Every structure is written in C-alpha cells, then in structure tokens.
Copies of this chain bind each other. A is one copy, B any other.
Amino acid sequence: MEIAQNFMGKLARNTMTRINENGNVVGTIIVNCEGFPETTTLDSLTAATYSTHMRNLSHHASNALKEIDVTDELVVLRLVSRKSEAVVAPDHEFTLIVVMRRS
C-alpha cells in the first residue's frame, strides 16, 4: 500500500506509515480543503465516497459542537458501525480519514 507522499514532510510521512502499518487499518485518505482525496491507500472510488461523506459529516459535527459551545472545536470524529470503524480528524488544510476493521 504505497501512497503518494511527495508533498508531505518527514514527520507526516512517518505518521502515515505508522498508521498504515497497524493491522486493523484498511486504508487512509488525506482530503484537501476542497474535498478531494489528495493521498490514499484505498481505491479511488472508495476514497472519493468516504471523502465526500466523512467531510460533510465532520462539518455537521463541528457546527453542532459550536451550537452547544461556540468556543469549542472538533478534534476527532469516530464512527463505529457493524462492519467497520472510521476515524475523521479534521484540520484547516487537510482532513485525515482512517478506515479500520472492527477489532
């Protein structure tokens, strides 16, 4: 599972490698601020589907948190489903999505 890493710094590259080496991780997606997957270890259709839905969802979550406390900010969103687990970590420039097997 090689990923296009040319735009990433060493620290980010190491982090992505570490995450992808975890046996429960199915794949990772880095989504840019326009909502397109920049880098992924998944196939492009799966990456695009996850990118769209998880980014929308993290916006909704962020807005919901701001309605509860305007000074609060979303750090991580984790969805556990019957079949898999998805972790979304939104940031200003990129959103990281990690898709995992249920452990």
User: Chain A: residues with CB nearer than 8 A to chain B?
Assistant: 49-50, 53-54, 56-57, 60-61, 64-65, 67-69, 71-84
Contacts and interface: CB of A to CB of B under 8 A. Distances in A.
Copies of the protein in its oligomer: 2
A68 B50 contact: yes
Contact of A78 (B64, B73, B77): B77
Contacts of A82: 72-73, 75
Given A57-B60, A60-B57, A77-B78, A72 B83 contact: yes
Interface of A is mostly: mixed
A79 B57 contact: no
Contact of A61 (B50, B57, B71, B74): B57
